[in-house]
A = this chain, B = another copy of it.
Amino acid sequence: MLLCDIGNSSYHFFDGKKNYKKNILDFNPQEITQQVYFISVNAKIKRELSFLENWIDLSRSVDMHNYYETMGVDRIFAVEALQNAVIVDAGSAITVDIVKSGHFMGGFIYPGVKAMNKAYENISPALSYEFNFDLDLETLPKNSQDAISFGFLKTLYSEVTSYDLPIVLTGGYAREFKKIFKDARVDENLIFTGMQKIIEEKKS
């Protein structure tokens, strides 16, 4: 069984053992003849795949009444994977979702590393610094690079840790953010775990 989480730039596959990515620009989904369970935040590809019989859209199998209409399906499947957690999915955006006793409590969206870097740079070239992920969060900054890194990272940290729930990191920048959220667990297959759970429920 093959699982696939489709984003704006890539197909992210999981074959039960390993995960790998294919670029959207040069991958043809018709190459795959076996059954694929997928979710897609990419509306165009989702439409294309509706014509392929072996590609099964799992988003239809989720009880949506807990969620909201414009919520990204990747966030929903990450929430489905866990019972009690703050889920930090660090990609081009950083989505933060809170799940308690298996119920989605709500969540928020924060800009990702690249978007935030660009935001500072656009205000002034004097604020154009790489973020320092080795920043000491307990010390108030007295230099520009740390003042910006603290603005980006400590504000997020203060909010995320306020829920007193286990923190789970996923997404392309998960390992960078592990330096900030030292007690967090990194789970690169979180969305696939949620997909597997929904497939099991579908069967029973």
Contact = CB atoms under 8 A, between A and B. Distances in A.
A109 B151 contact: yes
Contacts of A112: 123
A141 interface: yes
Interface residues of A, number: 46
B68 A142 contact: yes
A118 interface: yes
Q: Chain A binding site: helix, strand, loop or mixed by DSSP?
A: mixed
A106 B151 contact: no
* Most chain B C-beta atoms within 10 Å of own C-beta, residue among A92, A142, A144, A151: A151
A149 to B, nearest CB: 8
23 contacts: A68-B142, A68-B143, A70-B143, A92-B124, A93-B120, A93-B123, A93-B124, A96-B151, A106-B139, A107-B141, A108-B146, A109-B120, A110-B151, A110-B155, A111-B119, A111-B151, A112-B123, A115-B120, A115-B122, A119-B119, A155-B156, A158-B158, A158-B162
Q: Which 10 A-B pairs have the closest CB atoms?
A: A106-B140, A119-B119, A155-B155, A108-B150, A110-B151, A158-B158, A111-B119, A108-B151, A158-B159, A155-B159
Given A106-B141, A155-B159, A159-B159, 15 more contacts: A71-B142, A92-B124, A98-B140, A107-B141, A108-B140, A108-B147, A109-B120, A109-B127, A109-B147, A109-B148, A109-B151, A115-B119, A115-B122, A118-B119, A158-B162
Interface of A: 8, 67-68, 70-71, 92-94, 96, 98, 105-112, 115-116, 118-120, 122-124, 126-127, 139-144, 146-148, 150-152, 154-156, 158-159, 162
